[in-house]
Structures are given as structure tokens and as C-alpha cells.
Amino acid sequence: MPMPEASLPDRAPACPGPDPAPRGPTRFAVPRGAVDTHAHVIGVPPAHPFVVDRSYTPPAAPLERYVAMLDATGMSYGVLVQVSVHGTDNSLMVEALRAHRDRLRGIAVIPLGLPDKALAELKEAGVVGLRLNILYGGGIGFEQLEDYAALAREMGWHLQFLIDARDLAPLAPKLGKLPVPFVVDHWGHFPVSRGLGDPGFRTLLALVRDGGWVKLSGAYRNTVDGPPYADTVPFVRLLHEAAPERCVWGSDWPHVAHWQRMMNVGELLDLLADWVPDPAARERVLTENAHRLYGFVPEPAGAAKG
């Protein structure tokens, strides 16, 4: 059980909140049914404790602000990923999913051995996957990868990995044999300074080509040059070329563990025009691919969002 914030012996550095005035892209129209596949809701201790071994201290990121961001940017759906600072306490995320059953899905972080009832409740709320995370603290590592894969298969879920691409090589043989789909966050959290020929990136590229999914997200984490993140374009284009049907887009809102200039979600959407220049292919990234992975059923024309 995470320790309450008040009892933490050493505070991790605070990071700023997201841009308070999110906007949509200026370079293309967001298609109907678009999905933001990566975001977090964050509570405030002591009601929602932070884990001790975190690497940052975030501001609150309530559900209402996330939904407002979706509306402001023209996104129809969102996927909430259990944030590392809340460890395996998924209660805030589950509460958010239940408040917007038709509009949101969730990726949980759980210990093995949960009772069947608890697992069923997660699925009923809208959880569709499990996250393994070896970055930022507060996550579940890869030591029991096969056990989590077996559980995901039983539940009809997929696996999602927050991992540096440089650490993929020793895991690649196991990942290639998983009985469920897997998704790599932020295209491997890969610093582009290492170049297109880096063994970690080539491993990621091979995994995606052979059946893996990848989130086209987190440009500001991988860039060296900074905005407008042009140095990320060659990498993402190769990933998309490798598996255009298994690429999805995520805002990474509210952009935790980022202390540089805070970008607007509209800027990140505009970057997608460079990452995936073809309009039809870009629409598939934002809609069809994500619908298939997360189980969204587009609402009929004129339907209200839940």
C-alpha cells in the first residue's frame, strides 16, 4: 500500500500542469470517432496517495479537465492509463471510467493474485489492458511477464509496456511469443540522438513489424531539438511504415515528468500531420486502429457523448 504524501521522507520534484487552454490541430480536421489512447487522471493525497518510489510529484489532473481537453481538441474517445504515482491503486481511474462508460477505456496496473471478483469489476468498468512499467517508479516490472500475459489472455485484455527501447533486446524473444497483443508506449521512450540505426530502435521496429502495436506519442520525451519536434519525424515514419494498421495516437495528457516548455495538445496533433502525412492513413491511426484495439464502437451521428 502506498504511503500517504504527508509521511513521505523525501519529496520527488514537482512538475507543472498541462496547458490550461487546449486546442485542436490547425493542419487537419480531427475525424469523427478519434481516440486519444494515452492519458492519466491524477488525484490528491491523502485521498489518493502517491507511491514513495516515484520520480516526480504531479499536480491534480481531474477527470473533468481531461474530458474538457477531449472536447476542446475534437477527440471522441479517450484511454486512461493508470499513472505510476498512484501505483496499483486504480480506484480513481476506475471511477472515471464508470462516469463515462461509452467514451473511456482503461489500462490498469495490478498485482498478480487479485480475486476473480476484483478482476471482473475492473473489466466491467472498462479496463481493457494491463500496464507493465519500468520507468518513473511505482510500476510493475517484467519479472512475471508470462504470468501477466496469461492473465490478460484469460480476461480478454492486452499488455502495454512503458520501457526504454534500449532495454527491449533481451525481452524481444519473449515478446514475440506472447499470447495477447502488446503495445509499446511513446515508441519506446527513445532518445532520437541515438539515431535510426540504434539497436534498441531497430529492435522496436522489428517487434512492431512482426505484430506489436506502438503508440505514436510522447514526442517531447524523445526529442533532442525540442518544438516543433521535427527530429522525431524519421523515426515515427519508419514505425508507421512497418505497421500502419497497428499504430495509435496518444496525447500523454497531462504530460507528467516534463519540466521544459509545456506544449498544447493541439501542437502534438499538428505533429501527426508530419508523422503520417497521408490523410487516410492518419485517420486510421486516430480511429480504426484504436477502435479495434480498445473496443470502441463509434456512436451514431448526432449521439451525445457520455
Q: What is the pLDDT of residue 53?
A: 83
At 204-222, the pLDDT tens digits run 999 999 999 999 999 999 9
- Residue 195: band (very low, low, confident or very high) from pLDDT cuts 50, 70, 90: very high
**Mean pLDDT (whole number) for 141-157:** 95
Q: What is the pLDDT of residue 141?
A: 81
Q: Taking Cα atoms as reference points, which of 271, 255, 196 lies closest to residue 20?
A: 255
**pLDDT over 50 (residue 176):** yes
**pLDDT over 70 (residue 199):** yes
- Residue 139: band (very low, low, confident or very high) from pLDDT cuts 50, 70, 90: low
**Mean pLDDT (whole number) for 1-12:** 46
CA 182 to chain centre: 12
State the cell numbers at 167: 532495454
- Residue 292: band (very low, low, confident or very high) from pLDDT cuts 50, 70, 90: very high
Q: Taking Cα atoms as reference points, which of 66, 63, 30, 79 lies closest to residue 293?
A: 79
CB 239 within 8 A of CB 204: yes
Other beta carbons within 10 angstroms of residue 81's beta carbon come to 25
- Comparing 75 with 7, the larger pLDDT belongs to 75
Pairing of strands 213-216, 182-184: parallel
At 14-35, the pLDDT tens digits run 999 999 999 999 999 999 999 9
Provide, rounded to the nearest whole percent, the portion of the chain with pLDDT above 70: 92
Between helices 233-242 and 265-275, what is the axis angle to 10°?
60
Q: What is the pLDDT of residue 166?
A: 87
**pLDDT over 90 (residue 44):** yes
Q: What is the pLDDT of residue 4?
A: 40
The whole-angstrom separation of Cα 293 and Cα 116 is 24
At 274-290, the pLDDT tens digits run 999 999 999 999 999 99
CB 220 within 8 A of CB 255: yes
Which residue(s) pair with 158 in the sheet?
129
Mean pLDDT of the chain: 92
Q: What is the pLDDT of residue 306?
A: 46
**pLDDT over 60 (residue 265):** yes
The whole-angstrom separation of Cα 105 and Cα 99 is 11
Other beta carbons within 10 angstroms of residue 111's beta carbon come to 9
Provide, rounded to the nearest whole percent, the portion of the chain with pLDDT above 90: 84
**pLDDT over 80 (residue 161):** yes
Q: What is the pLDDT of residue 138?
A: 55
Q: What is the CATH architecture assignment of 5-294?
A: Alpha-Beta Barrel (3.20)
Domain extent listing, the chain? 5-294
Among 122-126, 165-169, 181-185, the range scoring the smallest mean pLDDT is 165-169
**pLDDT over 80 (residue 78):** yes
Question: At 295, is the secondary structure helix, strand, or coil?
Answer: coil
**Mean pLDDT (whole number) for 187-212:** 95
Q: What is the pLDDT of residue 140?
A: 80
**pLDDT over 80 (residue 144):** yes
The whole-angstrom separation of Cα 145 and Cα 150 is 9
Q: Taking Cα atoms as reference points, which of 153, 210, 152, 219 lies closest to residue 185?
A: 219
- Residue 136: band (very low, low, confident or very high) from pLDDT cuts 50, 70, 90: low
**pLDDT over 70 (residue 2):** no
